[in-house]
Amino acid sequence: MDAKKVLIVEDEKSISDIIQFNLKKEGFEVETAYDGEDGLAKALNGKPDLILLDVMLPGLDGFEICKKVREVSAVPILMLTAKEEEVDKVLGLELGADDYITKPFGMRELVARIKANIRRIDLNDSDKEEPANVHEFGNLSIDMNRYEIRKNGQPLALTLREFELLQYLAEKENKVFSREQLLSDVWGYDYFGDIRTVDVTVRRLREKLEDDSSDPKYIMTKRGIGYYFRRP
Ligand code: CA
**Residue range 95-153, pLDDT digits in tens:** 778 888 888 888 988 998 898 788 745 544 454 556 778 999 999 999 888 788 999 99
* Å from CA of 81 to ligand 1 middle: 8
pLDDT of residue 71: 84
- Is residue 11 over pLDDT 90? yes
* Å from CA of 78 to ligand 1 middle: 14
* Å from CA of 55 to ligand 1 middle: 6
* Å from CA of 24 to ligand 1 middle: 21
pLDDT of residue 74: 83
CATH architecture of the domain covering 130-229: Orthogonal Bundle (1.10)
**Residue range 185-223, pLDDT digits in tens:** 888 755 556 778 899 899 999 999 999 999 999 999 999
* Å from CA of 64 to ligand 1 middle: 14
* Å from CA of 4 to ligand 1 middle: 24
- Is residue 85 over pLDDT 70? no
* Å from CA of 11 to ligand 1 middle: 5
* Å from CA of 9 to ligand 1 middle: 9
* Å from CA of 157 to ligand 1 middle: 29
Residue 178 · residue 226 · CB < 8 Å: yes
* Å from CA of 13 to ligand 1 middle: 9
Average pLDDT for 6-14: 96
**Residue range 62-77, pLDDT digits in tens:** 999 999 998 888 889 9
Residue 146: what are its φ and ψ, rounded to 5°? -90, 0
Every domain of the chain and the residues it spans: 5-126, 130-229
- Cα–Cα dist 79/125, whole Å: 24
* Å from CA of 16 to ligand 1 middle: 10
Q: Name the band, by pLDDT with cuts 50, 70 and 90, for residue 89.
A: low
Average pLDDT for 11-21: 95
- Cα–Cα dist 102/98, whole Å: 14
pLDDT of residue 92: 74
Average pLDDT for 77-90: 74
- Provide the CATH number for the domain formed by 5-126 in this structure: 3.40.50.2300
* Å from CA of 12 to ligand 1 middle: 6
pLDDT of residue 124: 41
* Å from CA of 208 to ligand 1 middle: 32
Strand partners, 203: none
pLDDT of residue 33: 98
**Residue range 155-185, pLDDT digits in tens:** 888 887 888 899 999 999 999 999 999 988 8
Choice between 115 and 37, residue whose per-residue pLDDT is larger: 37
What is the pTM (predicted TM-score) of this model? 0.68
CA distances from 201 to 30, 41, 76, 98, 154 (A): 29, 26, 14, 10, 21
- Is residue 86 over pLDDT 70? no
- Cα–Cα dist 212/199, whole Å: 17
Residue 98: how many CB atoms within 10 A of its CB?
25
